[in-house]
Chains A and B, each alone.
Chain A
Amino acid sequence: MDLDWYIIWDYRADLLRGLWLTVRISLIAMVGATLVGVAVGCLRTLPGFLVRRLTGLYVEVLRNIPIVVKLFFAHFILGLDALPAGIVVLILHRSAYIADVTAAGLRSVPYGQTEAALASGLSTRQVFGWVLLPQALRAMIPPMTTQYTQVVKNSSVVMLIALQDLTFMTQRIEHETFRGVEAASTVTLLYLLIVLCVAAAMAGAQRLVDRRLA
């Protein structure tokens, strides 16, 4: 096959813009999904029947609908603009998984911790914030690394509603120059780069938490 890598250099501005959008969307979605997912995960471990049912429903519904369907729903039916639709859908989708990771992490903390904290007069929210979540964190970091890499990869669906992210730029290069192989290879490497940064950051977080809980 005859390859022309100079085409990548010609498209460097487009690729960097795509990379920047992918990174921005991913970071916002990670933060948002973590906030929502951890809150839902905490609620899932509460004893109340109704709250358990409702959070269970939240997780099942969001986890079992394909992300592209949710994206089309948000953009074409609810009429959200492309960027907010993309971010909201990435947050909702991933928060369902993060809720499960959080619930699993919380269940790894012995129940005596909850009892001691409640017995001292702390509120439920304080028990989660100061006693349970800091301890659950240690068990949550490895699966959360997976969740965050999924956010980065899933962010590529936003090209379906015409957002010009990294994946969108592959298509543009392909359409304009028929240099799809070069474009896809480059974009693959760029995604890999983002995901490796995520993994490295999470490994650092793990070391920090391990040392504190040693």
Chain B
Amino acid sequence: MTASSSPDNSAKPQLVVEFAGVQKHFGDLHVLRDINLSVRQGEVLVICGPSGSGKSTLVRCVNGLEPIGAGRLTVLSRLLNGRFPDLRELRAEVGMVFQHFNLYPHLTVLGNITLAPMKVRGLSRAEAEGKAQALLERVGIPEKAKQHPAQLSGGQRQRVAIARALAMDPKIMLFDEPTSALDPEMIKEVLDVLTDLARDGMTMMVVTHEMGFARRVADRIALLDHGRIVEENDPERFFKTPRDERTKAFLSKILSH
């Protein structure tokens, strides 16, 4: 992958997400500063950085959970500027997985996965459940279909959340620290699912502190600090020859343990 600033896009895969000079404030806090970033179809972009650097806000802008301030944000050929863009169609095509899973506790695993396909896409219950069962197979927990989220382990819950997002046939998947709330032994089972997805060609933006995963799976890694992208590089160069001092400092902290 070449740097995103290249003007020649004609021969390259289609741009799925493009931030151009995006700014965002929470009151006095300048959370995103002049973000220029793009994700192409089939690409895996890992976003890392210290807490409070704006990583979550960045991915949450992509499906409009956070409105942007100034600048231009284009997702799947839709411009997300303006105060009240109609986001429903876009969100149906953008899957999102949260740090704390956010499964619906009143529904079974099957109910969680089939809700949006039935209500948004208009699938019949039989179609939606067939698809849900296949997705549970894919994330390795077909036997949990009839259980409620409270009966599952953290790792299982996050895999259900991934299946729930995949049930909408998303064109891009957003992951907001998908393993940060998990016990160490459950992190691997979730990262394995993410790795499989990446191998299957899913376009992904992943906020994570899992540097081993980033090194193995990412096409590019972006480091955020105080709302600014301080480094954006392929994994090889990101880890071996970082350009920015802050990248070096961040890597030394995160890789030393």
Residue numbers of A with Cβ under 8 A of B are 110, 112-113, 115-123, 126, 130-131, 134-135, 212-214
Contact = CB atoms under 8 A, between A and B. Distances in A.
7 contacts: A112-B98, A117-B104, A119-B63, A120-B96, A121-B89, A123-B88, A213-B106
Contact of B115 (A118, A119, A120): A120
B154 to A, nearest CB: 15
Nearest to A138: B106
Interface of B: 63, 65, 87-89, 91-96, 98, 100, 102-106, 115-116, 119-120, 148, 150, 161, 164-165, 168
A121 B92 contact: yes
Given A120-B116, A120-B168, A121-B120, A113 B104 contact: yes
B27 to A, nearest CB: 16
B34 to A, nearest CB: 26
Contacts of A112: 98, 100, 102
A112, A113, A117, A119: most-surrounded residue (chain B CB, <10 A): A119
Contact of A122 (B89, B94, B116, B165): B116
Contact of B91 (A118, A135, A212, A213): A118
Contacts of A134: 106
B89, B95, B105: most-surrounded residue (chain A CB, <10 A): B105
A123 B121 CA distance: 12
Contacts of B94: 119
Contacts of A110: 102
Nearest to B111: A130
B96 A213 contact: no
Contacts of A213: 105-106
A113, A116, A126: most-surrounded residue (chain B CB, <10 A): A116
A146 to B, nearest CB: 23
B58 to A, nearest CB: 15
A122 B122 CA distance: 11
Nearest to B120: A121
A113 B102 contact: yes
Nearest to A114: B102
A126 B116 CA distance: 9
A122 B117 CA distance: 10
Nearest to A121: B92
Contact of B106 (A116, A119, A212): A212
A135 B65 contact: no
B119 A115 contact: no
A81 to B, nearest CB: 41
B168 A131 contact: no
B168 A116 contact: no
B63, B93, B116: most-surrounded residue (chain A CB, <10 A): B116
Contacts of A121: 88-89, 91-93, 116, 120, 168
Nearest to B60: A115
A120 B165 contact: yes
A14 to B, nearest CB: 47
Contact of B65 (A119, A123, A126, A214): A119
Given A119-B94, A120-B164, 8 more contacts: A112-B98, A118-B87, A120-B120, A121-B91, A121-B93, A121-B168, A212-B106, A214-B150
A126 B119 contact: yes
Contacts of B115: 120, 122, 130-131
